[in-house]
């Protein structure tokens, strides 16, 4: 199950980081777990977002904090050692 970037984007924007969106993110993670699914958050751009999402149990992250978008060729080169 994927957590939309619209929820992730607001992490750290409030006076208490993660306060408003944490209940929604927690609910999405709980729902995924009840269905036996893993959880990926998209649009992760800050360390605060990464920390909160991992602390809440997110299985995977996508976003500029980890890697900028790349071509198929670039992705293939990145993954080549893991495939061999």
Asked if 41 and 33 touch (Cβ cutoff 8 Å), the reply is no
**Rounded to 5 degrees, what are φ and ψ at 61?**
-130, 145
Sole residue written with tokens 């909160």: 52
- Catalytic residue (one of 10, 20, 21, 42): 42
Verify whether residue 21 is a known catalytic residue: no
Positions marked active-site: 42
């Amino acid at each position: 199950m994927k957590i939309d970037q619209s929820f992730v984007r607001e992490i750290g924007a409030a006076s208490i980081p993660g306060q408003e969106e944490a209940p929604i993110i927690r609910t999405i993670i709980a729902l995924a777990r009840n269905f036996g699914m893993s959880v990926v958050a998209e649009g992760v751009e800050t360390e605060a977002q990464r920390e909160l999402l991992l602390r809440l149990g997110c299985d995977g992250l996508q976003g500029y904090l980890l890697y900028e978008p790349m071509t198929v060729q670039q992705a293939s080169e990145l993954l080549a050692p893991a495939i061999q």
